[in-house]
Homo-oligomer: A and B are copies of this chain.
Amino acid sequence: MPIDPLSHTFAALADPTRRAILARLALGEATVSELAAPFPVSVQAVSKHLKVLERAGLVTRAKAAQQRPARLRAQPLGEADAWLEHYRAFWATRFDQLADHLHDIQKGTVR
């Protein structure tokens, strides 16, 4: 488990259930039970997912003991986006495909 925040963010996003939880939270805060309802997993599993998201700073929890609704905190997503930004030129301009093509030409594979 890495120490840098960006790794935590990407790791938190690397699970479809957690991304679905974030999508749900984008609509507004929700309790653990509400979040667990649409998924075929136990409430405890969702609670664990929330803990991962919390560690990544992607959600905050209310303090009340009985109900601790989770809320989306998008700032780390902004940081992930900023990292991706550096590579945007590559796919935006099909730079990688261009590079592939040039490479193939150089190799004489195609012309």
Residue positions of A touching B, CB distance < 8 A:
2, 4, 6-11, 13-16, 19, 22-23, 26, 29, 60, 71-75, 77-78, 80-81, 83-84, 86-88, 90-92, 95-96, 99-100, 103
Contacts and interface: CB of A to CB of B under 8 A. Distances in A.
B90 A77 contact: yes
A73 to B, nearest CB: 5
A21 to B, nearest CB: 13
**Majority SS of interface residues in chain A?**
helix
Number of copies: 2
Contacts of A84: 77, 80-81, 84
A86 B9 CA distance: 16
Nearest to A99: B71
Contacts of A80: 84
A14 B7 CA distance: 4
Contact of A77 (B60, B91, B99): B91
Given A10-B10, A78-B91, A4 B26 contact: no
